[in-house]
Amino acid sequence: MDHDEAVAYLDRHIELGWKPGLERIHRLLEMMGSPHLRSPAIHITGTNGKTTVTTAAASILDEMGLKSGMFTSPHLERVEERFKVAGEMATPEQFARAVADVAPFVDLLEAETGERATYFELTTAAAFAHFANEAVDVAVVEVGMGGRLDATNVLESQVAVLTGVSIDHAEYLGTTEVEIAREKLAILKTGGVLVTGNLPDEVEPAADRRAEEVGTVRRTLDRDFRIEDLRMSVGGWSYDLDGIYEQYDDLYVPLHGRHQAGNAAVAVAAVEELFGRALPSEAVRDGLAGTTVPARVEVVGRAPLVVLDGAHNPQATDALARTLREEMPAAGWTLVVGAFRDKDIHAMLAPFEGLVGQAIATAADHERAAEPGEMVMAVERVLPGIPVTWVTPVGAAVELAREWSRAEGAILVTGSFYVAGEARAAIVR
């Protein structure tokens, strides 16, 4: 199986969508010899911030001289982005080998159960196969959606992380923050440690109860570890961190948005609790300084300024808008926006009121994408009075935004990681 054959094999399972339940993935991994149990793991869930915490934690581990395996989703341009070892994306050959390792067992599973495995189940299994092939020391794994019924919840993780909770995927996870939190908190296993970012007040008791149920401890931001002297720096944020076991000074996170400092602090705490001790200060400092997360307030162009962000729910667009107002206040923004039909599009657009002067609706090449005409109507309702049109594909929308903005303007591409990914492919190349 070569790279193209591996991609085609996975793509044949996309139409199955999300099928909740752990029976298929448990059986598949059992057939494969349980590669997911060959290394300790940090398991990360939350409505937003998961990928930042995952990336920062893996970077710290690598700076400590360990070999991390990192699994994230979704990918922006290439599926191999989901699988990284020691900070390096899987090569086409490594990716093909991992999928080839999984494929015969998938055939056996489907023959045995009469059920087809999903795309996410296959990528999860392939990630564990890749980690086993590369003999990683620690797996740092991001939940796909929710937690309790997510395919990654086969892990027996030593540390579980909940970055935060807000309403998203309500049709699958629940209609209240407490219901959603319970789904996400189910990744915490007996004997593990729960590390949390800032949670809504009504969610706090649920987190404490889950920790009590499994007989473990909870470490939370602003109580057990806290940020001190947070200050804006060129291209990111600097601060000191009063960690769980140690004080770490002069930290720098090269990510826009003050909320990213909190995500980085959660990552440090998660790695501290993996070892149950203080970490080498230099590894923490270098690990955070080396953290890069594409499509999170990512600047990919100048003259005009072009920023990509995969914000796809109201909490994320609110953080995005606050970041732009604080860090790039002089910019006059042209908004290029596309979202999925099942999102609260009006609530997602609301934070941009007064921030953007014109908008172009678009749609990613995805069956869940909202029609551009629907996006135009949403923009007209939520952001009345600004010029708005629609263009597809995403690359063409970005080109029109360049014409509208001219060299002195600024372009914001957001609403979906799929929109950001298609824009990135068009711009960065």
C-beta separation of 358 from 327 below 8 A: no
Give the whole-angstrom CA distance, residue 187 versus residue 278: 25
Cβ atoms of 44 and 50 closer than 8 Å: yes
Query: How many Å apart are CA 400 and CA 186, to the nearest integer?
Result: 45
Contact 291, 264 (CB under 8 A): yes
Give the residue among 51, 50, 42 at the shortest CA–CA distance from 138.
42
CATH of region 298-428, choose from 3.90.190.20, 3.90.79.10, 3.40.50.300, 3.30.460.80: 3.90.190.20
pTM to 2 decimal places: 0.94
Measured distance CA(305)–CA(83) in Å, rounded:
30
Q: Which two tokens stand for residue 85?
A: 């070892």
CB 218 within 8 A of CB 209: no
Q: Which residues contact 217 (CB under 8 A, 6 or more apart)?
A: 193, 194, 211
Q: What are the residue ranges of CATH 3.90.190.20 in the chain?
A: 298-428
Residue pointed to by tokens 């596309």: 338
Residue with tokens 């769980």: 244
Residue whose C-alpha is closest to residue 133's, from 40, 32, 1: 32
How high is the pLDDT of residue 298?
95
Name the pairing type of β-strands 83-85 and 138-142.
unpaired
pLDDT at 15: 72
Class of domain 3-289: alpha beta
In three-state secondary structure terms, 44 is strand
Instruction: Please give the full DSSP string across 251-286, using - where no structure is assigned.
Output: EEE-SSSTHHHHHHHHHHHHHHHHHTS---HHHHHH
Tell me how many degrees the CA angle 166-167-170 measures, rounded to the nearest 5: 145
| Helices 92-113 + 23-31 axis angle, to 10 | 110
- Distance between CA atoms of 241 and 165, rounded to whole angstroms? 23
229-246 confidence digits (pLDDT tens): 999 999 999 999 999 999
Question: CA-CA distance, 181 to 199, in Å (whole number)?
Answer: 9
Supply the DSSP symbol for 15.
Answer: G
Token pair for 28: 């598949």
Instruction: List, for the chain, all residue ranges whose pLDDT scores fall below the cut of 50.
Output: none
| Side chain identity, residue 258 | R
Three-class secondary structure of residue 84 per DSSP: strand
Considering the chain, tell me which residue range(s) the CATH 3.40.1190.10 domain(s) occupy.
Answer: 3-289
- pLDDT confidence of residue 184: 93
* Residue 363 contacts residue 395 (beta carbons within 8 Å): no
Q: How many CA atoms lie within 13 A of 232 on its CB side?
A: 8
SS3 88: strand
State the residue for tokens 């020391």: 137
* Cβ proximity of 155 and 163 under 8 Å: no
pLDDT in tens, 139-198: 999 999 888 999 999 999 999 999 998 866 656 667 788 999 998 999 999 989 999 999
Q: How many residues does the chain have?
A: 429
Contact 162, 53 (CB under 8 A): no
Which residue is associated with the tokens 């997510």?
150
From edge to edge, which strands make up the β-sheet containing 247-253?
Answer: 226-233, 236-242, 247-253
Stretch (H or E) spanning 42 = strand 41-45
88 backbone dihedrals φ, ψ, rounded to 5°: -105, 130
Q: Nearest 5 degrees, angle CA 286-CA 292-CA 298? A: 140
